[in-house]
Amino acid sequence: EAGVAQSPRYKIIEKRQSVAFWCNPISGHATLYWYQQILGQGPKLLIQFQNNGVVDDSQLPKDRFSAERLKGVDSTLKIQPAKLEDSAVYLCASSLLGGPRVDTEAFFGQGTRLTVV
Amino acid sequence: GQQLNQSPQSMFIQEGEDVSMNCTSSSIFNTWLWYKQEPGEGPVLLIALYKAGELTSNGRLTAQFGITRKDSFLNISASIPSDVGIYFCAGTGNQFYFGTGTSLTVIP
């Protein structure tokens, strides 16, 4: 079974530029998550989708971050404009069960390491 | 957001020793998960726990879901160098929260 695919693996941009990350979840997984992991910390949930609907985006900085999951499969996360403090690894994960209750395992991609200079 | 407190923050042990780490929360969770993350990689699921009091093993790893549903522990027996990494607990209910991580270093 193929895992969660993310691209690119690495990205370096200047502050105030825009950047987009792509995620392809495991086939058949209804729930997709985007996490931000700052160096030395645990992952922080940014947004959770069930199919193509948003379940939770309470910690997404909506003035600069946006995400979509058209057709309920692939997802993109965008930052516009980027700030220095956005430097982090952006992880995508997916899980089988749909609905707001996440009583199942989530599987992670390798992440995209973003450096904002 | 919710914070899961993990302890210890870091561990340096000799190869062959046993390891124990735990995770506590102020909230009740329906599921506890333990992940391992190595440099440059995403977290990899080690063990999933679904019921209060449940004790589950995966090779040399053993984890338990606390009776109060507010805590969990992970034990690693007879550690080996490839156990090196950061171990995260995660609790799920309506959301999915991660702990602060325990960094494990195994000295050959």
Residue B94 pLDDT class (50, 70, 90 cuts): low
Counting as low any pLDDT under 70, the low residues of chain A are: 1, 98-104
Query: B90 to chain A: which residues are within 8 Å by CB?
Result: 106
Q: What pLDDT sits at residue A110?
A: 93
Q: Read off φ and ψ for residue A110, nearest 5 degrees.
A: -75, -15
Per-residue pLDDT of B13-63, as tens digits, reads 999 999 999 999 988 888 899 999 998 889 998 998 989 999 999 999 999
Per-residue pLDDT of A17-40, as tens digits, reads 999 999 999 998 988 999 999 988
Lookup: tokens for A39: 């160096």
Q: How far B17 CA sits from the closest chain A CA (Å)? A: 25
Contacts of B59 (CB under 8 A, 6+ apart): none
Residue bearing tokens 């069930």: A50
CB contact under 8 A, B40 and A113: yes
Q: How far B108 CA sits from the closest chain A CA (Å)? A: 24
